[in-house]
Amino acid sequence: MKNLTLFHLVFVLAVVTSSCAKEAPSDSEVKVFETRASAASELRFSELFTKLDYVALETNKDCFITQIDKIQFDGTYIYVFQDSERSKALFIFDKNGKHQITISNPGEGPGKFLGARDFLCSKDTIEILDRYQQKILKYNKSGHFLQEVFLGQTFDQFVKLSDASYIFFSCYQPLILEDETPQYFNIHYASPSGKVNASYLPIHDALKNVLLAKYNFSSGYNNSYLLTTQFSDTIFRLTAENVFPNYIVKLPDVWIDKIYSDKFENSDINGKLTLLNENDKVNGFAKVEETDKYIFIMYSFNKHDYWLFIDKASGSVRSYYEKKRASKPNDIDGGLMPSRLKAVYQDKFIFYLQAEDIVHYISNNSNLASDSFLNFTKSINSYSNPVIVFATLK
């Protein structure tokens, strides 16, 4: 890794498979955008959203949420995934926040999981990915265990296509080629039975086993997914047929430079992890999502979160920054500003707020909040489950 360009070549040009080759799109199909963090304006929710709807998740003895790692909404139910050391569980609520079921069965054996890392919901089933036991557990929508799919490999995240095939993401799993040489890839396509039949995006030697585990896939749009990877300013699109670079987003004033990449290559594992967590350079995107109108990208820099909205029709880019400070009001209803974006459903951005943060905010800023927000918070206390926020895009 003599310079940063090599990272770009690895991720942008080397879109190859281990077992079968598929033609990649031409460069003309890759859309390139450039924006500067210094040109971003401070985030105002009223410029982006028409309204905020709040859903208080029911709290009871069978459903106490200490952290939220992933949210999915299918128009009827809210699925909340908790991947903590103390409790790995999937909580399911109706769209009004009433608790329906909890799937949590730790252990080894059929229907039990030890290392639940991700989940997905389709029309009739709920599937949980157990990283440690290398399997997928399938349940019906009532939470009854149906079957397991054994993978034989370690994966961190997954999505499902309309033909029931899977796409897996891994930072660590070596694929043994025909000549018994191990090679690492980020993306693995697999059949409904879990058998990997193609792998994409080779991982550079300097990045093996050090990439931060996070949710790299978008929520899904028209049976395709967007993907971000560490050290790449390229956003890939994953379809049933192929993986290809779709967007390149350049941030010339804040993106990692050659000095950073040289330090990274020459560091041990602890040094690499320290560099990945530093906030004085941007080394990747934290989240990417897609709606009918926009490609949305989030990244962090200098203790701020930055939001990019790319208009799919015009190609224009709007850039905002959000100051990371406690008890900040939003300018729609004066309630606490939600900042933890977890998913997108149609024209809605889905966030959450911790109940204790709401209680603290109201105790100090009740004069800023609207009557509707104040009335909503009357049923919230510090021990309540989190609140889901649906923000409707303009």
Which residue, among 291, 272, 267, has the nearest Cα to 283 in the 3D structure?
272
Half-sphere exposure of 316 (CA within 13 A, CB side): 3
DSSP 341-386: --EEETTEEEEEE-HHHHHHHHHHHTTTS-HHHHHHHTT--TTSPP
Task: Give me the long-range contacts of 185-192 (CB less than 8 A, separation at least 24).
Answer: 185/18, 186/227, 186/229, 187/227, 187/238, 187/243, 188/153, 188/155, 189/165, 190/151, 190/165, 190/166, 191/165, 191/166, 192/149, 192/163, 192/164, 192/165, 192/166
Q: Going residue by residue through the chain, which has 394 residues, state the pLDDT in tens, using 9 for 90 and above.
A: 333 343 443 444 344 444 443 444 444 578 999 999 999 999 999 999 999 999 999 999 889 998 899 999 999 999 999 987 677 899 999 999 999 999 998 888 888 898 888 999 988 899 999 998 999 999 999 999 999 999 988 898 999 998 899 999 987 666 665 666 667 778 999 999 999 888 888 777 766 666 555 668 999 998 899 999 878 899 999 999 889 999 999 999 999 887 777 787 788 878 877 877 777 888 889 899 999 999 999 998 888 899 999 999 999 999 999 877 667 899 999 999 987 789 999 999 999 999 999 999 999 999 999 999 999 999 999 999 999 999 999 9
pLDDT in tens, 129-180: 999 899 999 999 999 999 999 998 889 899 999 889 999 998 766 666 566 6
Q: Which residue has the tokens 């792998």?
A: 199
pTM: 0.88
How far is it, in rounded angstroms, from Cα 66 to Cα 88?
A: 10
**21 burial type by CB count under 10 A (0-12 exposed, 13-18 middle, 19+ buried):** exposed
Residue pair 113/100 in contact (Cβ under 8 Å)? The answer is no
The C-alpha atoms of residue 274 and residue 264 are separated, in whole angstroms, by: 9
Are the C-beta atoms of residues 282 and 299 closer than 8 Å to each other?
yes
